Amino acid sequence: MSPLRAAVPLTNGGAIPLADLPLLGRGHFTGALLAEVAEGARVAAYFAAPAGRVLELYAILARDAHSDLAVLRTEIGSDYPSLASRCPELQLFEREIAEQYGSIPTAHPWFKPVRFHRSWNGRDAWGRGAERPQPAVQEFYRVEGEEIHEVAVGPVHAGVIEPGHFRFQCHGELVMHLEIALGYQHRDVERLLLGGPHPATPHQLETVAGDTSIGHATAWSHVSEALGGGSVPPRGEALRLVALELERLANHVGDIGALAGDVGFLPTAAFCGRLRGDYLNATAVLCGSRFGRGLVRPGGVAAELSDEQAATLRERLATVARDTRGALELFFDTPSVLARLEGTGHVAVEDAAAVGLVGVAARACGLVRDARKHHPLGGYRTAGIEPAVKWGGDVFARAAVRQREIDDSLALVDRTLAALPPGPVRAENGSPRPKSLAVALVEGWRGEVVHAALTDAAGRFSRYKIVDPSFRNWTGLALALRGEQISDFPLCNKSFNLSYCGFDL
Amino acid sequence: MTYETTVIAMLKILHERLRQGHRTASYPSEAPVLPERFRGAPRIVPERCREGCGDCLDACPFGAIEGTAGGPRLDLGRCIFCGACAAACPHGVLEFSRDHRLAARRREDLLAGAEGHRLAYALDGEMRRLFGRSLKLRQVSAGGCNACEADLNVLNTLVFDLARFGIQFVASPRHADGLMVTGPVTENMRFALLESYAALPAPKLVIASGACAIAGGPFRGSPECHDGIGDLLPVDLYIPGCPPHPYTALDGLLRLLGRL
Residues 121-160 of A with CB under 8 A from B: 132, 134-135, 155-156, 158-160
d(CA A343, CA A350): 17
A245 plus A294 within the same structural domain: yes
Q: Do both A402 and A490 map to the same domain? A: no
Among A59, A83, A106, which residue terminates a domain? Answer: A106
Task: Give the percent of chain A with pLDDT over 90.
Answer: 95
Phi and psi based region of residue A357 (left: phi greater than 0; alpha: psi -120 to 50; beta: remaining): beta
- Residue A363: pLDDT band (50, 70, 90) is very high
Same domain, A254 and A275: yes
- B13 lies within 8 A of chain A by CB: yes
User: What average pLDDT score do residues A196-218 get?
Assistant: 96
Q: What is the largest CA-CA distance in chain A?
A: 71
In the structure, what pLDDT confidence band is assigned to residue A269 with cuts at 50, 70 and 90?
very high
Q: Which residue of B20, B24, B146 is the best one to mutate when testing the A interface, meaning the one whose CB has the most A CBs within 10 A?
A: B146
Taking the C-alpha atoms of residue A89 and residue A106, their distance in angstroms, rounded to an integer, is 16
Mean pLDDT of chain A: 95
- Whether the CB of B141 is below 8 Å from some CB of chain A: the reply is yes
Q: Which of residues 294-323 of A touch B (CB under 8 A)?
A: 294, 303, 323
Residue in chain B closest to A191 (alpha carbons) equals B222
pLDDT given for residue B62 in this prediction = 95
Cβ–Cβ below 8 Å for A187 and B222: yes
CB contact under 8 A, B20 and A335: no
Residues A436-442: what's their mean pLDDT?
A: 98
Q: Does A270 touch chain B (CB under 8 A)?
A: yes
Chain B 203-232, residues with CB within 8 Å of chain A CB atoms: 217-219, 222-225
Q: What's residue B1's pLDDT?
A: 63
A332 and A381 housed in the same domain: yes
Predicted pLDDT of residue A501: 96
Query: A215 near A292, Cβ under 8 Å?
Result: no
User: Which band of pLDDT confidence, cut at 50, 70 and 90, is reported for residue B6?
Assistant: confident
Q: Are A341 and A273 members of one domain?
A: yes
| Residues of chain B contacting A210 with CB distance shorter than 8 Å | 144-148, 150, 243
pLDDT at A2: 53
Residue A123 lies in a domain: no
B14 alpha-carbon distance from chain centroid: 35
Mutation to test the B interface, candidates A118, A185, A306, most B Cβ within 10 Å: A185
User: In this structure, are A197 and A216 located in the same domain?
Assistant: yes
Q: Which of B13, B159, B224 sits opposite A188 (nearest CB)?
A: B224
The three-point CA angle B197-B201-B204 to 5° equals 65
pLDDT value of residue B8: 87
Asked if B187 and A132 come within 8 Å (Cβ–Cβ), the reply is yes
- Residues A8-13: what's their mean pLDDT? 94
Q: What mean pLDDT comes out for the span A301-312? A: 95
Same domain, A171 and A56: no
Per-residue pLDDT, averaged over A445-461, amounts to: 97
Domain annotation covers residue A260: yes
Least CB–CB distance from A326: residue in B16, B23, B196 = B16
Domains and CATH numbers, chain B: 125-256 (3.40.50.12280)
> Does residue A255 lie within any of the structural domains?
yes
Q: What is the pLDDT of residue A402?
A: 98
Q: How far is A22 from chain B (nearest CA, A)?
A: 35
What strand order describes the sheet that includes A174-181? Answer: A148-153, A165-171, A174-181
**Residue A283 sits in the same domain as residue A417:** yes
Q: With an 8 Å Cβ cutoff, is B188 touching chain A?
A: yes
- pLDDT score of A350 more than 80: yes
Whether residues B188 and A184 touch (CB distance < 8 A) is answered with yes
Residues found in chain A: 505
pLDDT of A28 higher than 90: yes
Q: Is residue A204 part of a domain?
A: yes
Does A410 share its domain with A431? yes
- Find the CB nearest B192 among A116, A163, A327: A163
Last residue of a domain, one of A58, A91, A106: A106
Nearest-CA residue of chain B relative to A257? B157
Please tell me the predicted confidence (pLDDT) of residue B215.
97
Q: Do B187 and A183 touch (CB under 8 A)?
A: no
A285 near B CB under 8 A: yes
A114 occurs within a structural domain = no
Of all residues in chain B, the one with the smallest CA distance to A162 is B141
The average pLDDT across B34-56 equals 91
In this structure, the dihedral spanned by the alpha carbons of residues A124, A127, A132 and A134, taken in order and rounded to 10 degrees, is -110
DSSP string, B148-191: HHHHHHGGGSTTT-GGGGTEEE-S-GGG-SEEEEESS-BHHHHH
Range of the domain at A84: 3-106
Q: Is the pLDDT of residue A435 over 70?
A: yes
Taking the CB of residue A127, how many other CB atoms lie within 10 A of it?
8
Is A125 inside any structural domain?
no
According to DSSP, the residues that pair with B65 across neighbouring strands are B74
A202 with A190: CB under 8 angstroms?
no
Residue-level pLDDT at B155: 95
Residues A468 and A485 in one domain: no
Domain contains A343: yes
pLDDT band at A130 (very low <50, low <70, confident <90, very high): confident
Q: What is the number of domains present in chain A?
A: 3
Question: For residue A1, what pLDDT is reported?
Answer: 47
Size of interface A-B (CB pairs under 8 A): 185
> Does the pLDDT of residue A3 top 60, yes or no?
no
Most A-contacting residue of B78, B186, B196, B220 (CB-CB within 10 A), to test interface: B186
As a whole number, the mean pLDDT across chain B is: 94
Asked whether residue A143 carries a pLDDT value surpassing 50, the answer given is: yes
Q: What is the pLDDT of residues A90-107, one digit of tens each?
A: 999 999 999 999 999 999
Model ipTM value: 0.95
Q: Which residues of A touch B23 (CB under 8 A)?
A: 274
Q: What are the counts of helices (DSSP H) followed by strands (DSSP E) for chain B? A: 8, 10
CB contact under 8 A, A284 and B225: no
Q: Which amino acid, one-letter code, is at B73?
A: R
CATH at residue A220: 1.10.645.10
A293 lies within 8 A of chain B by CB: yes
Residue A379 in contact with residue A442, Cβ under 8 Å? no
DSSP string covering A261-282: HHTT-HHHHHHHHHHHHHHHHH
Would you place residue B70 in the very low, low, confident or very high pLDDT band (cuts 50, 70, 90)? confident
The verdict on A177 and A204 lying in the same domain is: no
Is A382 within 8 Å of A238 (Cβ atoms)?
no
A419 and A325 within one domain: yes
- Sign of the alpha-carbon torsion through A86, A91, A96, A102: positive
Q: Is the pLDDT of residue A159 over 90?
A: no
A390 falls in which pLDDT band (50, 70, 90)? very high
Domain boundary among A106, A122, A148: A106
**B9 shares contact with chain A (CB less than 8 Å):** yes
pLDDT at B2: 80
